Structure 1
Amino acid sequence: MRQIVLDTETTGLDPALGDRVIEVAAVELVNLLPTGATFHRLVDPERDIPAEATRVHGFTNGDLAGKPKFAEIAAEMLDFLGDAPIIAHNAPFDFGFLDAELKRCGKPALDRARMVDSLVIAKQRYPGMPNSLDALCRRLGVDNSMRAAHNAILDCTLLAQVYLELMGGKQPGFELAASLAVSRAALAAGEAVAWTATPIAVPEDRAAAHAAFVKAKVKDALWLKPPFADGGETA
C-alpha cells in the first residue's frame, strides 16, 4: 500500500487573501513505512513573506530568491504524488493551498477523496488532548528534539513516524505473517523452502532446576521414557 505524507509551508494562513506556498515536501510510505523516496522543493512565492510567517518557519525573502515558481515544480510534484492517498496534519490547510497554486497554473485540484487527515485521527484517538505534531511526538515517543522551527521535510519525517504509531505501530507479527505467507506460496508452487533453526540457549543451572522440578512434580513422564529419553523424535 503506497501512501504519501505531505507538508507545506506558506506565507500566511489563507490562500484566498493572497498567501502562497513557499515549501512543499512529501515522503513516500509503503505499508506504513518510509521507503526513502522524498520530494522537497523551496518555491518563490512571488510576494513578500510577512515577519510573523518568518517567525514560524524561519524563511525570509532572501532564502527564496531565485527559487523556482510553483508552476515550475507542479508537474514533478504531481508525478511524485501519483494517485496515492495523501496524509497531512490538518490536511485541509495543505490541500487548500496546493489547490490554489494548481489552479493558478491551470492544473486540476487534488481529489479530496485522497485526503487523510492525521489530526482528525489523533483527535479520535486522544479526544480532549493536545494533538499538535509536537504534542503527538512527545506522547508517542517520537524524537522531535531537532524541530526548532517548522520545516516541511522534517515535519513529514516526524509525521510519518507519528502516523505509524497512530495506526497501531510496527507490530513484529506483521513481519512474521508476511514471511509465512511467502513460504506458503512457495510450498504451493512446489518450491523448496529453506528453514533455519533458531536454538534457544538455556543456562545450565536453569536447565538443571527445571529438570529437578519436573522430576519431582510429574510422575511417569512419557518424555523421560525411551525412545524419547534416548533422543528419539515424537513424530
Structure 2
Amino acid sequence: MNFSSWPLLLVVDVEGNGTNPPDLVEVAALPVRDGRPDTSTAGTWLSKPRRPVTPFAARVHGLTNEQLESEPGWEEIAAQVHTFLGGSWICAHHAHVDYRVLAAHLPQWQPAGVLDTLRLAKATYPGLSKYTLDALIEHVQPDLSAAPAQRHRATFDAYATAQLLIAMAVRYDTWDQLVAAAVPPGLPGAPEPEEEPTLW
C-alpha cells in the first residue's frame, strides 16, 4: 500500500451524554499522514451537553457533568469542528454511528467518504469471533503506547482505530481496493455497484 496516494483522512470518534439521540460531549479527529497517526495536528473538543450525562455514559467514558460544566456548548464549537473536518475522508469503527451523530450535529457537513474499520476487519480477518474495538486491539496488538487518555475516550479510541486501519491497509495494494472493502453501502464514498449485464 502506497500511503502517499491517500487523500486527506481523519479518523474520528465521538462520545455522547447517553441520551437517545445523544448530545455530543467529546469529538476527536486524528489525521493519518504517510501511514501514521499525526497527533500533532489532531483536533479534540469537549462540549457541555444540553441534557445531563447519564450515569451509565459517565461510567463508560469517564466524563462527568461536573467536568463538562465549564466547557462550551455545541453551538459554540460546531463551526470549528465543521471547518476542521472539511470535505476530507473520515474513518471510524462502526462508522454508521459516528457519521450519523456528526451529520446530525453538523447539517451542512459532507465528508468525501467514510471508511469503517469494522467492515474492513470482517473482510481482512474473516473468522474472528468478535469485531469490537477491544477484540481487534487484542488480535492486531497495535502499538498504543502513545495513545492519549484511556479507552472509551474519543482521543484514545480514534488513535486505536487509526492504528488498526493502518495495520489492515497494508494488506491491500491500492486505495481503491481499501475503499471497496471498507466503505459500507449507502455511506459517502461507497463504490457504485456494477451494473448487471442486460440479456436481450
Residue 122 of structure 1 corresponds to which residue in structure 2? 121
Match of 2:11, SS state, is strand
Judged with a 3 Å threshold, the aligned counterparts in structure 2 of structure 1 residues 144 and 128 are, in CA distance, closer, same or farther, namely same
In the alignment, structure 1 residue 163 sits paired with structure 2 residue 169: no
Judged with a 3 Å threshold, the aligned counterparts in structure 2 of structure 1 residues 25 and 133 are, in CA distance, closer, same or farther, namely same
Which consecutive unaligned segments of at least 5 residues does structure 2 have? 1-6, 172-200
Deviation at 1:78, TM superposition (A): 1.7
Q: TM-score, normalised by structure 1?
A: 0.63
1:127 and 1:73 mapped to 2: Cα distance?
A: 40
RMSD: 2.2
Deviation at 1:12, TM superposition (A): 2.2
Judged with a 3 Å threshold, the aligned counterparts in structure 2 of structure 1 residues 136 and 37 are, in CA distance, closer, same or farther, namely same
2:19 and 2:139 mapped to 1: Cα distance?
A: 27
Contact 2:14 2:27 in 1 (8 A): yes
Deviation at 1:32, TM superposition (A): 3.0
Which consecutive unaligned segments of at least 5 residues does structure 1 have? 170-235
Residue 34 of structure 1 corresponds to which residue in structure 2? 37
Letter in 2 for 1:31: D
When Rg is computed on C-alpha atoms for both structures, the one with the higher figure is 1
1:125 and 1:48 mapped to 2: Cα distance?
A: 39
Deviation at 1:120, TM superposition (A): 0.7
Letter in 1 for 2:12: L
Letter in 2 for 1:137: I
Deviation at 1:49, TM superposition (A): 0.9
Deviation at 1:115, TM superposition (A): 1.2
Deviation at 1:165, TM superposition (A): 0.3
Judged with a 3 Å threshold, the aligned counterparts in structure 2 of structure 1 residues 13 and 164 are, in CA distance, closer, same or farther, namely farther
Residue 185 of structure 2 corresponds to which residue in structure 1? none
Residue 137 of structure 1 corresponds to which residue in structure 2? 137
In the alignment, structure 1 residue 69 sits paired with structure 2 residue 73: yes
1:83 to 57, 81, 87: 87
Deviation per CA, 1:175-234, whole angstroms, max 9, x where unpaired?
xxxxxxxxxxxxxxxxxxxxxxxxxxxxxxxxxxxxxxxxxxxxxxxxxxxxxxxxxxxx
2:41 and 2:74 mapped to 1: Cα distance?
A: 21
Deviation at 1:48, TM superposition (A): 0.9
1:140 and 1:6 mapped to 2: Cα distance?
A: 20
Contact 2:15 2:153 in 1 (8 A): yes
Judged with a 3 Å threshold, the aligned counterparts in structure 2 of structure 1 residues 137 and 54 are, in CA distance, closer, same or farther, namely same
1:13 and 1:93 mapped to 2: Cα distance?
A: 14
2:53 and 2:126 mapped to 1: Cα distance?
A: 35
Identity %: 35
Contact 1:95 1:110 in 2 (8 A): no
Bigger relative contact order, structure 1 or 2 (CA pairs below 8 A, ≥6 apart): 2
Deviation at 1:168, TM superposition (A): 1.2
Deviation at 1:144, TM superposition (A): 4.8
Deviation per CA, 1:141-187, whole angstroms, max 9, x where unpaired?
21458775411011111111111001017xxxxxxxxxxxxxxxxxx
Count of residues in Structure 1 that have an aligned counterpart in Structure 2:
162
Residue 8 of structure 2 corresponds to which residue in structure 1? 2
Letter in 2 for 1:96: R
Letter in 1 for 2:94: N
